[in-house]
Amino acid sequence: MSNFVFVIDTDRQPLSPCKPGMARSLLKAGKAAVFRRYPFTIVLNKAVVTERSTALRQAQEPRSDVRRSSVEPRSQSRSVETNPEPLELKLDPGSKVTGIAIKQGNEIIFGAELQHRGQQIKEALLSRRQLRRGRRNRKTRYRQARFLNRTRPDGWLAPSLQHRVETTLTWVHKLIRFAPIARIVQELVRFDTQLMQNPEISGVLYQQGELQGYEVRQYLLEKWNRQCAYCSVENVAFEIEHIQPKSRGGSDRVSNLTIACHDCNQKKGNQDVREFLATKPDLLNRILKQAKLPLKDAAAVNSTRWALFNALKETGLPVTTGTGGQTKFNRNRLGLAKSHWLDAACVGKFETLTVLTSKPLLIAAKGHGTRQMCGTNQYGFPIRHKSRVQIHKGFQTGDIVSATVTAGKKIGCYAGRVLCRASGSFDIVTKSARVAGVSYKYCKAIHKKDGYSYAF
């Protein structure tokens, strides 16, 4: 089943989400209209009678009308719940993807994965800095360096990190508008980089506890994409493998650890990785290169976890936290597959859990464009200028449209983000490909630009 459908009343107040079948019935009967496509939300056309308003009306009306008024809310409650049950919003913040889940009682009724664009922001700022530095060197060589004339406030985060916090907070506020969220649960994970680099570190904190060893194993699974490093098999029991065997001078540092299936681990034994992969030089180079990847993802999560926690507290809702080891313990206990939105569903303490959705909403942050008016080449010289007009033929780059082309070489139906041009010839980025040269006459907007792209 897909995600539940969000419901709001005529006053734009959130009601209990309903099943897709119920939303379809309300739309066909004309009792509701589509309010938003992503996440799919419907708005009721008539005011909903709540228990409180019913009690007030019964007290004011004559006794003969009490029976008639008491029947009305009962018939309306068959289609939508007028007194929404408080929901729980669960978050699994990540460096690249943040998992989102909504829990109603012991059931998960909504799941989503939010893909961040922190690396794109970093690369854009780096490109801008290089262009400005080259321009200053060409035109203002006499100017002294002024890199110490600015101060940063306490708690300052780099733009690529601040983006992760603000994007997550944006979607928290959106879901609060469409669903009766009563509390928030965040995975306040902290990757112990010292323990990652030296798993043999001693101390009571590292030796006791029911969830000992989960953090290092979780990091290796994320680093190696949950595949065997030697045969790329998935969905099997993995073992921690030393790339350079300890019997030949290898260490327990995380840069010397990988994951492998049982067969590959036994086949390799205590061989050096260069001997074991002598006939596979490409695979050997990939493993040696990936083993030396930095811990930037773990550092990004460590840097933003408290900033996100403090921002969530400002929403006014109670915020509780859970650990990364606890999340994995719950997921293994329930036998759920590994994914970001299911990790979010397993955050915190609970006894039972039922997942009623199987297709999470995939959200990718695309930004709101750039303010750069002059495009440059690789050397920093201007080669093109951007028009100030952003809306062409009633569309804007970033809108999600559906197009049914009935003539020409592009006959077919397409749906996706649109790239607009002043000529009226648009490009549509679908889930599988990019279709160029579609006339605006065939396009129909189904979701206005909001800085994100959506898929299932």
pLDDT per residue rounded down to tens, the chain (456 residues): 678 999 999 999 999 999 999 999 999 999 999 999 999 999 999 875 444 344 434 444 544 443 333 334 433 434 556 678 899 999 999 889 999 999 999 999 999 999 999 989 999 998 888 888 887 777 766 667 666 677 888 889 999 999 999 999 999 999 999 999 999 999 987 766 555 555 555 554 444 444 455 567 777 887 788 899 999 898 888 998 898 888 777 777 777 888 999 999 999 988 888 889 988 888 888 888 877 666 677 788 888 999 999 999 999 999 999 988 889 899 999 999 989 999 999 999 998 999 999 889 999 999 988 888 888 887 778 888 888 888 999 999 999 999 999 988 889 999 999 999 999 999 999 988 899 999 999 999 999 999 999 988
| Count of CB atoms situated within 10 Å of the CB of 71 | 10
Whole-structure pTM value: 0.74
Q: What is the pLDDT of residues 125-172, one digit of tens each?
A: 988 888 888 877 777 666 676 666 778 888 899 999 999 999 999 999
Which tokens go with 42? 């419907």
Residue type, 253: R
CATH 3.30.420.10 fits 87-117+155-191+296-365, yes or no: yes
Specify the domain boundaries for CATH 3.30.420.10 within the chain: 87-117+155-191+296-365
Can you name the CATH fold of 193-291? DNA Binding (I), subunit A (1.10.30)
Helix (H) or strand (E) holding 443: strand 443-447
**Nearest-angstrom CA–CA distance, 454 and 405:** 22
CATH code that applies to domain 387-450: 2.30.30
Residues of the chain with CATH 1.10.30: 193-291
Beta-carbon contacts of 121 under 8 Å, excluding residues fewer than 6 positions away, are 159, 160, 163
Q: Where in the chain is the domain with CATH 2.30.30?
A: 387-450
256 touches 287 (CB < 8 A): no
How far apart (Å, rounded) are the C-alpha atoms in residues 222 and 234? 13
Please answer whether residues 276 and 242 qualify as being in contact, where contact means their C-beta atoms are separated by less than 8 angstroms. Answer: no
The single-letter DSSP state of residue 66 is H
Following CA atoms 156, 158, 161, 167 in sequence, which dihedral angle do they give, to the nearest 10 degrees? 80
